[in-house]
Chains A and B, each alone.
Chain A
Amino acid sequence: MANWNNLTKGFFKENPVFVLLLGCCPTLATTTSAINGLSMGLATTFVLILSNMCISLLKNFIPNKVHIPCYIVVIASFVTVLQLLMQAYLPSIYETLGLFIPLIVVNCIVLGRAEAFACKNSIGASAIDGISMGLGYSMALTILGSIREILGSGSIFGWKFIGGDAILVFVLAPGAFIAMGYLIAIMNRLLKKSK
């Protein structure tokens, strides 16, 4: 039961984007289309799971005073590994996300979960936490990306259903804030009801 709660919390109760409001920079910047949001979410999930596990494994080895530099080194290494792998095997996705992959290092979600969860829990629980938070993040990014793609370019996952231009502002930065604001409002409403 504890594991189940641990697994589902990332989607609603503690959704990193809509509830915890962590990692807004990559969230707003990469969600110009559904596929970008999804790939950014999955890339972050990969880093989250591995860094959570690694930090949970090292938690007794790292003295308190240097825990932040240690975590950052661990996270940065995983991000660089991911970047090299994507560059080698998924060059087309790397091209669209390239700029934002290194930014996963400073994504508050990754460090936040290391700090708040992985350094106090077992490897298994930390891995589940990573999966839950990562997939919750991917879900949020995909939803935001889809909404912006539908309204902004009139297409979904690259499949165009209306010709010509749509509401361009949704592809640009202001649209990201507007769409995210509404999504947070909806999420708050749903969470209040379920209480």
Chain B
Amino acid sequence: MAAKKDTLINMFVALFVICVVSGGVLGVVYNATKEPIAAAETAKKTEAIKNVLPEFETLKDITVKSAVAGEDAEIPFYLAYDADNNFIGAAVETFTNKGFSGNISLMVGILADGTLKNISVLQHAETPGLGSKMSEPAFKDQFNDKRADSFNFKVKKDGGDVDAITAATISSRAFCDAVNRALLTFENNKGGF
């Protein structure tokens, strides 16, 4: 049997039916996967928060306006409290748009006294093999247990104390930019936690 004739009505019916069926299928799949997708994202975020903070009892989500001058981005803060409701520290979901390719999103754990506890990379699109090394302990662990008053969170090329990733200075700089954004915003708002 040959293909249907190219009459207007045949073309209309074929395209219409295919679009309606595809639309229906997509709707069903979207609804079926909506919850697992949300769950996967929450699980990833919770994992990152646990990773960057010491043991805590309760968590409170707030958003804080970025403290970097001239920005009005809202940064999510996850405030961690112990069983006696003492503030332990905050996991800051910070970002930078100075990445080599696209935005970088980090979870930075900061203790109540302003010490950086740990960093977890949430999302990046840096060059595989170069900038992507920011997720490796060799680079990101040099920030751990550092404080802004004794450690300059900038790459050495810019006069700071951070060892940049070989051949990925832009990615390293962007990483520092995101960390600084978190620290600065934390510092400016810590009275309210």
Main secondary structure of the interface of B (DSSP, over half): helix
B40 within 8 A of A: yes
B11 / chain A contacts, CB cutoff of 8 Å: 63, 65-66
Instruction: Choose the segment among A10-18, A40-48, A84-92, A127-135 that binds chain B (4+ C-beta atoms closer than 8 Å).
Output: A84-92
Contact with A along B1-28 (1 / 0, CB 8 A): 1111111001100110111001001100
| A81/B5 in contact, CB under 8 A | no
| B29/A84 in contact, CB under 8 A | yes
| A64/B30 in contact, CB under 8 A | no
| B127/A87 in contact, CB under 8 A | no
A42 to B15, CA, bound (A): 29
A62 in contact with B3 given A32-B129, A73-B18 (CB within 8 Å)? yes
- Interface residues of B, CB < 8 Å — how many? 33
B85 / chain A contacts, CB cutoff of 8 Å: none
Main secondary structure of the interface of A (DSSP, over half): helix
B33 / chain A contacts, CB cutoff of 8 Å: 84-85, 87-88
A62 / chain B contacts, CB cutoff of 8 Å: 3-4, 14, 18
B128 within 8 A of A: yes
A77 / chain B contacts, CB cutoff of 8 Å: 22, 25-26
Instruction: Choose the segment among A20-28, A53-61, A177-185, A187-195 that binds chain B (4+ C-beta atoms closer than 8 Å).
Output: A53-61
Contacts of B103-138 to chain A: CB distance below 8 A = 123, 125, 127-130
- In the assembled complex, how far is the CB of residue B9 from the closest CB belonging to chain A, in whole angstroms? 10
A152 within 8 A of B: yes
A171 in contact with B130 given A62-B3, A84-B29 (CB within 8 Å)? yes
Nearest to B22 among chain A residues (CB) is A77
A6 within 8 A of B: no
| B40/A172 in contact, CB under 8 A | no
Mark B residues whose CB is within 8 Å of A. Answer: 1-7, 10-11, 14-15, 17-19, 22, 25-26, 29-30, 33, 36-37, 40-41, 44, 123, 125, 127-130, 166-167
Given A59-B3, A88-B37, 7 more pairs with CB closer than 8 A = A36-B128, A60-B3, A65-B11, A69-B15, A74-B22, A77-B25, A95-B123
A-B contact pairs, 9 of them (CB 8 A): A58-B18, A63-B4, A64-B6, A65-B11, A74-B22, A84-B30, A88-B37, A89-B40, A172-B130
